[in-house]
Amino acid sequence: NFGQSSGPVAPFPVSRLAARSNTLVRPLLFHYIRTRGELEAMAGETFAALEAGVVRATIGLRLPLRRAGEAHTALESRATSGAIVLVP
């Protein structure tokens, strides 16, 4: 997940996590990628893994480009899971 698609996380007392020895981590992409070169290298590795079948993308909805409005509605209402692909 990149960003806060469902809005900001409501504050809560972190001490509540101690009851079950739970932990909280919120990594940010910008802590791992500092330069455009690093971004391009990581993107290249990601696409290579996709092409090799090491990582598989889940396509939740595939629509023709002319129905892009429906794709936005589905995304905004959280009615899908996986990627939404618009086909020209």
Q: What pLDDT digit, counting tens, does each position of 34-76 carry? A: 899 999 999 999 999 999 999 988 999 999 999 999 999 998 8
**For the chain, what percent of residues have pLDDT higher than 70?**
93
Amino acid 3: pLDDT: 56
Secondary element (H or E) of residue 60: strand 59-64
Of 62 and 81, which is predicted with more confidence? 62
pTM above 0.85, yes or no: no
Amino acid 25: pLDDT: 80
pLDDT, tens digit, 9 for 90 and up, residues 12-40: 888 888 888 998 887 777 788 889 999 99
Report helix, strand or coil for 22.
coil
Secondary element (H or E) of residue 62: strand 59-64
Assess contact for 73 and 49: CB atoms under 8 A.
no
Q: Which sequence spans correspond to the domains of the chain?
A: 14-56, 57-88
Closest to 75 (Cα-Cα) out of 85, 65, 88, 87: 85
CB neighbourhood size of 74 (10 A): 15
The number of angstroms, rounded, from the C-alpha of 20 to the middle of its chain's C-alpha atoms is 27
